[in-house]
Amino acid sequence: LLARVHSSTLVGIQPVPVQVQVHLTPGLPSISVVGLPQSAVREGKDRVRAALQQTGIALPAQRVTVNLAPADVRKEGSGFDLPVAVGLAICSLGLPPECLEATAFLGELGLDGELRPVRGALAVARGCREVGMQTLIVPEGNGREAAAADPTLQVLTAGSLRQVVQHLQGRARLTRAAPPDRDAGASALLGAGCFSEVRGQEGAKRALEVAAAGGHNLALIGPPGTGKTMLARRFPAILPPLGQEEALEVTTIHSVTGLLPDDAGVVRARPFRAPHHTTSRAGMVGGGTPVRPGEISLAHRGVLFLDELPEFRRGVLETLRQPLEAGWVSVVRARERYRFPSRFTLMTAMNPCPCGHLGDENQACTCDPGQVARYRNRVSGPLWDRVDLHVEVCSPSVEVLRGTGTGEASGAIRQRVMEARERQSNRLGPGRVNGEMAPGEVDASVPLGQAGEALLRRSAVSLGLSARAIHRVLKVARTIADLEGSGSVRRDHLAEAIQYRVLDRSGGEGAA
Ligand SMILES: [Zn+2]
């Protein structure tokens, strides 16, 4: 006797179809699970046994072998409880195998037979669609998420094993999950806080707008308590809303990592991740058992904010270089390679010196030049090379703090950002931004007049700008022109872009 039940496991964030095959052979009653089950799958045996008992289904009085095929893929997670229980129930109740046709199962069982949500339901649902499944049965808490995968996949939700069995017997129908609302995007942004609440800081706000418009990485430099974090947290709200495909990518990563709340449906707000400076390499780029995405992938399509940048371990910061260039990261573990997307805006914040008050009008700095240089050198040059804008954040004046006037709202800024991005798409291709331009594209897209060329040459000498820094300046100048709707890059666009190289400037002085 044999039952075949469709399900799926995840390798990283990739779904891999799995067939649960139940064999009965003469012998003492027992259950064994084969086919590279990892610990959570092996432990599921006891949950399945108890849940079947609670549902009033007797286990076959024979030797049961559950084979998870293909045998060479590790099976992770508790989601196999339901397909294994269904396979045993089919054998025990003698239901026709046709009731399982083109239907996949996913879910963890409680000892009482209740179904509990699992990680990665969206990824599994997309995988099911790809291999031609028509129906996926999941726990109630996973319904909305799974239903977002594809409108042609029927997602049914169940609260317990009993309900699933009654559905298969044709005695009751499970309810179909409704896909989450696609238009919920705008309201999701409201939680981030609005720029109108930030008083003063006009220069910093302008720089954030430029960064959002061109997809530029950015460093905020200023004394403690000047609101660097407050500014950073509001940044996602001036980025364009997530597109449908982007939202599914983000949801998949958050779901696999266990960060998606039950019944959440789809993530609509751009992620903002602010890992602590003690974060390990695995926490940053991905790792663990089973292998999960790290902070840079949780920040995919959003913002990775590194506060107190010089406090991060150098080795951890070095791991950011490749994903910053490529937009994805590769994690190798036990001869297996996992690939996670990581296209994010890097935003960093740091004090100007160890005591924090270099250049502060309100308090004197107590550091000597050697201490300042050592502090800044903790961040490697190659990482700095990937930051387009350096922004000085100063303490707002008393007049500004006491004023009642509110700044511009995030929505208005976002509108300009989206218009500037549209111009970039038209020039560079759909979805591309100036921050991603290759050196050859920079030369073609940023024609400078004579005045511009002269300014650039003078600045390169006086500020000691490297060839890479000059490319950054040109990309940022292009974005400033795009924000204004200007086809050509003028001298004043270039001048603004040059003043975003604060650290090159002070680095030059230090070296002199
Ligand atoms: Zn200092």
Distance 378 CA to ligand 1 centre (A): 15
506 confidence band (pLDDT: 50, 70, 90): low
Distance 505 CA to ligand 1 centre (A): 18
* pLDDT exceeds cutoff 50 at 483: yes
pTM of the shown model: 0.91
Q: Give percent above pLDDT 70 in the chain.
A: 94
Distance 224 CA to ligand 1 centre (A): 11
Q: What does the pLDDT look like over 460-472, one tens digit per residue?
A: 888 888 888 899 9
Beta-carbon contacts of 134 under 8 Å, excluding residues fewer than 6 positions away, are 102, 103, 153, 154
Mean pLDDT, residues 208-233 taken together: 93
Element (H, E) at 457: helix 450-463
- Do the Cβ atoms of 465 and 502 come closer than 8 Å? no
Distance 141 CA to ligand 1 centre (A): 52
Distance CA 9, CA 20 (A): 11
Distance 376 CA to ligand 1 centre (A): 12
Distance 367 CA to ligand 1 centre (A): 4
Q: Give percent above pLDDT 90 in the chain.
A: 62
pLDDT score, position 512? 26
* pLDDT exceeds cutoff 50 at 509: no
Distance CA 58, CA 165 (A): 13
Distance CA 404, CA 424 (A): 37
Distance 75 CA to ligand 1 centre (A): 54
SS (H, E, C) 312-358: CCHHHHHCCHHHHHHCEEEEEECCEEEEEECCCEEEEEECCCCCCCC
Mean pLDDT, residues 321-338 taken together: 89
Class of residue 39 by CB neighbours under 10 A (exposed 0-12, middle 13-18, buried 19+): exposed
Distance CA 6, CA 425 (A): 42
Distance 370 CA to ligand 1 centre (A): 11
Distance CA 207, CA 476 (A): 10
Distances (CA, A) of 324 to 158, 311, 369: 42, 20, 31
Distance 319 CA to ligand 1 centre (A): 29
pLDDT score, position 182? 65
Distance 207 CA to ligand 1 centre (A): 24
Distance CA 105, CA 120 (A): 13
Residue-averaged pLDDT of the chain: 89
Distance 95 CA to ligand 1 centre (A): 76
Distance 353 CA to ligand 1 centre (A): 5
Distance 361 CA to ligand 1 centre (A): 12
Q: What does the pLDDT look like over 224-275, one tens digit per residue?
A: 888 899 899 999 989 999 988 999 999 999 999 999 888 778 888 899 999 9
* pLDDT exceeds cutoff 80 at 199: no
Distance 463 CA to ligand 1 centre (A): 22
Distance 221 CA to ligand 1 centre (A): 13
- Do the Cβ atoms of 55 and 113 come closer than 8 Å? yes
186 confidence band (pLDDT: 50, 70, 90): very low
* pLDDT exceeds cutoff 90 at 398: no
Q: What does the pLDDT look like over 354-387, one tens digit per residue?
A: 999 888 888 899 999 999 989 988 887 778 878 9
- Using only the alpha carbons of the chain, give its radius of gyration: 28
276 confidence band (pLDDT: 50, 70, 90): very high
Distance 390 CA to ligand 1 centre (A): 18
pLDDT score, position 510? 35
- The region of weakest confidence among 23-32, 393-402, 461-470 is 393-402
* pLDDT exceeds cutoff 50 at 437: yes
Distance 466 CA to ligand 1 centre (A): 27
Q: What are phi and psi of 149, to 5 degrees?
A: -60, -50
Distance 393 CA to ligand 1 centre (A): 15
Q: What does the pLDDT look like over 110-141, one tens digit per residue?
A: 999 999 999 999 999 999 999 999 999 999 99
Query: To 10 degrees, what angle do helices 369-377 and 502-511 make?
Result: 130
pLDDT score, position 184? 55
Identify the residue with better confidence: 264 or 15.
15
* pLDDT exceeds cutoff 80 at 63: yes
Task: Tell me if residue 305 falls in helix, strand or coil.
Answer: strand
Distance 146 CA to ligand 1 centre (A): 53
- The region of weakest confidence among 72-86, 87-101, 189-203, 304-318 is 189-203
Element (H, E) at 186: helix 185-189
Distance 275 CA to ligand 1 centre (A): 25
Mean pLDDT, residues 63-77 taken together: 91
501 confidence band (pLDDT: 50, 70, 90): confident
Distance 199 CA to ligand 1 centre (A): 26
Distance 372 CA to ligand 1 centre (A): 7
Distance 227 CA to ligand 1 centre (A): 18
Most confident of 5-9, 357-361, 443-447, 500-504: 5-9
- Do the Cβ atoms of 305 and 272 come closer than 8 Å? yes
Mean pLDDT, residues 381-410 taken together: 77
Q: What are phi and psi of 301, to 5 degrees?
A: 70, 10
pLDDT score, position 380? 76
* pLDDT exceeds cutoff 90 at 280: yes
- The region of weakest confidence among 161-175, 289-303, 324-338, 483-497 is 324-338
Beta-carbon contacts of 142 under 8 Å, excluding residues fewer than 6 positions away, are 106, 107, 117, 118, 121, 157, 262
Distance 364 CA to ligand 1 centre (A): 8
Mean pLDDT, residues 34-42 taken together: 87
Distance 352 CA to ligand 1 centre (A): 7
pLDDT score, position 405? 56
Q: What does the pLDDT look like over 1-12, one tens digit per residue?
A: 589 999 999 999
Distance 359 CA to ligand 1 centre (A): 9
pLDDT score, position 401? 62
Q: How many other CB atoms are found less than 10 A from the CB of residue 81?
A: 30
Cα 483 from chain centre: 27
pLDDT score, position 420? 97
Mean pLDDT, residues 39-63 taken together: 90
Tally of residues, the chain: 512
Distance 223 CA to ligand 1 centre (A): 9
- Which has the closest alpha carbon to 157: 191, 116, 124, 198? 116
Distance 375 CA to ligand 1 centre (A): 10
* pLDDT exceeds cutoff 50 at 189: no
- The region of weakest confidence among 39-48, 146-155, 429-438, 501-510 is 501-510
Distance CA 205, CA 189 (A): 18
Distance 377 CA to ligand 1 centre (A): 15
185 confidence band (pLDDT: 50, 70, 90): very low
Q: How many other CB atoms are found less than 10 A from the CB of residue 371?
A: 15
Distance CA 303, CA 488 (A): 30
pLDDT score, position 468? 83
pLDDT score, position 1? 56
